[in-house]
Structure 1
Amino acid sequence: MAGLHPSPAGHPSSSSTTSSNPRFTPVSYGSEEERSEAGPAKSPNIPFPLKTNFEDYPDVGGPLSDIENEDAYNDGEELEGKLPNVGSALKFTPEEESEVVKRFDRRLVPFLALLYLLSFLDRSNIGNAKIAGLKEDLQLSSPQYEWLLTAFYITYILFEWMTLMYRAVPPHIYISLCVCGWGLVASFQCLATSFEGLVVLRALLGITEAAFGPGVPFYLSLFYQRHELAFRNGLFISAAPLATSFASSLAYLIVKFSRDGPISPWRTLFLVEGFPSVIVAVFAWYLIPDSPDRAAFLTRRQRMVARQRLEGSMDEHRQSRGSRFNWREILKTASDPKAYMAALMFFSCNVAFSSMPVFLPTIIQDMGYSSLHAQALSAPPYLFAFVVVLITAYASDRSRSRSPYLIGHALVSSLSYLTIALTGIYHSHLPPWLHTLIRYFCVYPATAGFFSAITIVITWSMDNRVEKEGKGASIAILNIIGQCGPLLGTRLYPESDGPWYVRGMATCSFFMIVTAVLAVGLRVMLQRMNRAAAETTYTIVQQGGPVDGDEERDELMGGGRRNGLERSSGEKALVYII
């Protein structure tokens, strides 16, 4: 095309016969030879307009927004087949890419975090309801209360396979139905009049939340590159401690102002904290994008940039969207020991993750505080955990490493749990004010530790998967095995062990140590695989010679910009983030 491509050898240039600005290329009535420069005509006797596709040449003609009508844009599948195959990827600037990421950060991640906050609020507020009158009104024994917690996780585990539904159902429909579902079930808990009725509702709540939460990290991987995921997952998962803190603060207000109300405070608690999810589900239908191509808050070009920066080329994207599940990648992930090491770490973290939020109000009450004060004192540890999770996730992404943060938080959390257990054993040698102070303030690093560890484990399990099916399968394995942890965690603090709960604290300490040991093992395994790939299989080759050694070493440590090493044949291999 004149003005864009050099003239072929042996043909005269047509630059003098066409407009210098391709944005306003006129209809050509020139000679046959001149028309052949721009492209073949369907008929040699019929003039035709020259067409220029500005998406493929962003440096020519200025920004697209100056000449395009955004409303006329057909996204998603309608765009497929209409983009020209120019043999090279769409060119975009770092500033354009940064703006796309910022829009996802502002419009997508906070809303998903809000949804997870609501789900975790509806899941864990039973701990606040217990000391707000639930146990007395329904005459629940300690084993029955434990079954209420366990019933949720039984169905939560059984329906983990629904993670793959994010690839089968448009996410804006799927997520909206999930949010509406758990909002209704959580609200109906206020109508329970017996243990049997409440345990059925808790089981239904597990189904609706299993369909949403475990698949969100996979859903985010469709919008972010792997070195960007930890912080975004951190923003999402940090909603859990924030929800617990919010639940405790809200429970304090509800109990205080509804003591003399027409219904019991615990019933008001379930209704006030459950029904907002039903309202938010309506907004989810319109605000959740199905893919980067369909994000309504992006311009046409930004959608293309968002897709291109993840797919590598338009051809790869069309092939990915045009194909069904990559079953080979799913089977490969299912036979990979790394997936099971991550799942066992998730299991170990979940022992603490599932127990502390629902038992902490009771634990604090058994320290000698009233029910009202226990509700209030349950909030600060989770606010602290919220801040620590965000700092950890941000630092992990900046350094492009996972294991140091995971190991560090697991060890700190384990030490904190062990201190609480030892304080309970030797409490008779300490004044009451001192052992109460030690036990309460050790809750802060304990909760911050397992919340941060959960964030890193989930991100790390997907970091080293290329295919979407591999990411989805790794999340499914992670949750199927890892969510068995709550089956143990929800039974760690029976009333018979109060007020010191030495056994539960010691068990959580042990499993956080297991998390650290597994993280060390996985780190060593990935380091060896990176080293073996560099030394025996992969050679970084450029047309003029090998790549500079410093750049290669940086890439092997997970700090380079590329996602893999390149064979001499051009095939790329993944470099594992450690």
Structure 2
Amino acid sequence: MAVDTSQVKSESATGTSADREQPSSVPRSSNGVPSQGVHIDEATEKRLVRKLDRRLVVLAFLCYLAAFLDRSNIGNAKTAGMDTDLGIDDGAYQWLLTIFYIPYILFEWLALMWKIVPPHLWAFATVFVWGLASILQAAAYNWSGLMACRWFLATAEAGFGPGMPYLFSFYYNRRELGVRCGVFLSAAPLATTFAGALAYGITQGSYSIASWRLLFIIEGIPPLILAFVVYFMLPDSTDNAKFLTEEEKAVARARALRTTGHGEMGTSKGTQLGRIDWSDAFGAFKTPQVWVQALMYFSCNVAFASLPVFLPTILTGMGFTSVNAQGLTAPPYFLAFLVCIFSTWLGDYTQQRGLLITALSLIGCLGYVLLATCKTVAVRYAGVFLAASGVFPAIANILSWLLTNQRSDTKRGIGIATMNIIGQCGPLLGTRVFPTSAEPYYVPGMSICAAFMFFNAILAFGLRTYFARMNHKWDGQAATVRPEGPAWTEDGKTLSEEAEHMPAAGGSGGGAAAAPDAGWENSSDWRYAL
């Protein structure tokens, strides 16, 4: 047996720290996190993580790939003649883009449903609805019909994508979470790569129906299939995951106890669904990172939302034909796909995500500056590569940075919901700063995107500075107390002073926060991830 389960509860009392130096005598798990006496077989732990990756991350990646295809193919459909066939002018097209983000903002709180509803049921409902809405766009014969389809498409996607990194946080520790979020978010640039290539092939053919209608049908079928796949294959927790052995489940329980004080990895505890700890929920709003990272997400989303839907039009304005413009969207996004995975892995490895986001934001800013100021086709096309490889990876790192800097699952859920509600207002601006009157260079839109990416770099560096100062303050406090002294909270108070706001070791309610079984998140070892 890989884990001595009789000792797990007591030996996990002191918690672990993923990003602080520990004495060499402290046992470590395979991911480098001090195990504090919990005897975990490294080979079993690696096997557990690989199985979770194959089931949880791969399914999430495929669903988000389909979601982003269905979200952004409106730009490819326009280039393929949708606006001409339906008599849609520039103002009406702008509203087709904007309408998607209104329900996305209104229903971002649905990210918390991953904790309340069994994930396999919630995933099935959201994926099936957006697949159906996507296909129905092909049957639209006027602007109003398209608007209705995109409303329901956005509502369903709002319940899926924004909450998936939150679901990951129930299964992975802070040295594992970033790259999983990166793989998940990398589906966005990869989907855009496929969208360009798929549209390129469709627009060269001759069909009995308009090519843009066929595009909606083809890209709407995969989510309908995936809805049934996730229903049968997505786990609700490690304890009810049939693909894990008893030994692997025991390792999962040890990992969960070590970090959170809960004995199960997942959103449900046995037969009991997760609950929201309202004291933690209100406490999350008092942490500055919730608001700063929401502004960061807003800034990135101004550029993130506009680039996929307008890039074919931008490339057409460079002098390329419609067909070639569709094909040329693929290379920049494939580079962004690779950078997204590499940068999140690097963030996990170095635990320096703030500096990484700053650098990525400046790269994206430079790309938009080139697009706004240069008229040479080669230079502008190079700017597209820089913009794509800066914006998408920055967002992936922001999401994992938020999740690793909140101290309970409820706070992480509130943080994700708040980030998305504020952040998804960015596309309302981003999708409306590229009017046809600004063709062919779209200088106002490019300048606005460049400014927001630079602003994002300032926010990231400033927040990292704040985290470093707080860590230094806590190190000083820890040095002035005895080893058996009190644990400190984010506000500089002892856990005994804040006990009513901390989750109990065995559930999501308050009380007993300073108990020895509260897990690493509630111990004095916890520090911000920089």
Whether TM-score is above 0.5 comes out as yes
Match of 2:469 in 1: 528
Name the TM-score, length of structure 1 as normaliser.
0.77
One-letter amino acid matched to 2:299: S
Alignment of 1:481-560 (within 5 A): 481-536=422-477
Cα distance in 1 for partners of 2:336, 2:364 equals: 11
Alignment of 1:86-105 (within 5 A): 91-105=39-53
2:304 to 353, 358, 362: 353
1:542 Cα deviation from its structure 2 partner? 5.1
Structure 1 residues 396 and 314: alpha-carbon distance in aligned structure 2, compared to 1, 3 A threshold = closer
Name the residue aligned to 1:144: 92
2:367–2:382 contact (8 Å) kept in structure 1? no
- Give distance in 2, aligned partners of 1:313 and 1:417: 41
For 1:326, give the aligned amino acid.
Answer: D
In the TM superposition, what is the alpha-carbon distance from 1:292 to its structure 2 partner? Answer: 1.9
1:505-557, Cα deviation, whole Å (9 max, x unpaired):
110000000100001110111111111111135657558x9xxxxxxxxxxxx
5 Å-filtered alignment, 1:19-38, equals none
Letter in 2 for 1:364: L
Does the alignment pair 1:285 with 2:226? no
| CA offsets 1:192-221 (integer angstroms, 9 cap, x no match) | 111111111111111000000000000000
**Shift, 1:311, TM fit:** 2.6
Distance 1:254 1:92, change over 3 A: same
What letter corresponds to residue 403 of structure 2 in structure 1? M
In the alignment, what sits opposite 1:262? Answer: 208
State whether structure 2 residue 165 is matched by structure 1 residue 181. Answer: no
Asked whether the equivalents of residues 89 and 308 of structure 1 are also in contact (C-alpha less than 8 Å), the reply is no
Say which SS state the counterpart of residue 294 (structure 1) adopts. coil
SS in 2 for 1:335: coil
**Aligned counterpart, 1:382:** 333
**Which letter does structure 1 place at the counterpart of 2:52?**
F
Q: 2:145 aligned with 1:197, yes or no?
A: yes
Q: Rate the CA distance shift 1:335–1:310 in 2: closer, same or farther, 3 A.
A: same
Contact map agreement 2:115 2:275 (CA 8 A) in 1? no
Q: Deviations over 1:310-361 (max 9, x none)?
A: 2328974379947732111110102222110000000000000000001000
1:471 corresponds to which residue?
412
Distance 2:186 2:230 in 1: 20
Q: Name the CA distance, whole Å, in 2 between partners of 1:338 and 1:388.
A: 25
Q: How far, CA to CA, are the matches of 1:318 and 1:222 in structure 2?
A: 9
| Offset of residue 294 of structure 1 | 2.1
What does residue 130 of structure 1 align with?
78
Q: Does 1:230 align with 2:171?
A: no
The 3 A distance-change label for structure 1 pair 117 and 226 is: same
Deviations 1:105-137 (A, max 9, x none): 222211210100000000001110001010100
Q: Give the total of aligned pairs.
A: 464
1:576 to 2:528 alignment: yes
- Measure the CA separation in 2 of the matches of 1:134 and 1:315: 54
> Matches of 2:226 and 2:252 in 1, distance apart?
26
Trace 1:145-164 onto structure 2 (pairs within 5 A).
Answer: 145-164=93-112
* Contact in 1 for aligned 2:256/2:264 (Cα 8 Å): no
What SS does the aligned partner of 1:312 have? helix
Corresponding residue of 1:250: 198
Paired residue for 1:75? none
Residues 252, 305 of structure 1: CA spacing in aligned structure 2 closer, same or farther, 3 A cutoff?
Answer: same
After TM superposition, what 4+ stretches of structure 1 lie above 4 angstroms from structure 2? Answer: 537-543, 567-571
Superposition deviation, residue 572 in structure 1: 1.2
Deviations 1:247-305 (A, max 9, x none): 11011111212x3x110000000000112210111111111001122222211121221
The answer on whether the counterparts of 2:253 and 2:264 sit within 8 Å (CA) in structure 1 is no
Q: Distance in 2 between matches of 1:537 and 1:569?
A: 18
- 1:367 is matched with 318
Matches within 5 A, 1:299-310: 299-310=245-256
Task: Answer yes or no: is the 8 Å Cα contact 2:257–2:264 preserved in 1.
Answer: no
Quick one: distance in 2 between partners of 1:151 and 1:569? 49
The structure-2 alpha-carbon separation of the partners of 1:401 and 1:155, relative to structure 1 and needing over 3 Å to count, comes to same
Contact 2:293–2:402 (Cα < 8 Å) also in 1: yes
For 1:294 and 1:511, the matched residues in 2 are separated by 44
Amino acid at match of 2:395: I
Cα 1:186–1:492 change in 2 (3 A) is same
- Identity fraction in percent: 42
Q: Which structure is larger by alpha-carbon Rg, 1 or 2?
A: 1
Q: 1:79 aligns to what? A: none
1:267 partner SS: helix
Instruction: Point out where structure 1 has 5 or more consecutive residues left out of the alignment.
Output: 1-22, 24-52, 59-87, 428-434, 546-566
SS state at 1:223 partner: coil
Q: Is residue 2:165 matched to residue 1:217?
A: yes
132-141 or 530-539: bigger deviation: 530-539
Distance of 2:289 and 2:460 partners within structure 1: 10
Amino acid at match of 1:219: L
* Unmatched runs of 5 consecutive residues or more in structure 2: 9-35, 486-512, 517-521
Flag the 1:400–1:145 CA change in 2: closer, same or farther, 3 A: same
- TM-score normalised to structure 2 length: 0.84
Contact 1:90 1:313 in 2 (8 A): no
CA-to-aligned-CA distance 1:8-32 (integer Å, 9 cap, x gap): xxxxxxxxxxxxxxx9xxxxxxxxx
Q: Distance in 2 between matches of 1:130 and 1:449?
A: 26
Letter in 2 for 1:137: D
Contact conserved, 2:290 with 2:415, CA < 8 A, in 1? Answer: yes
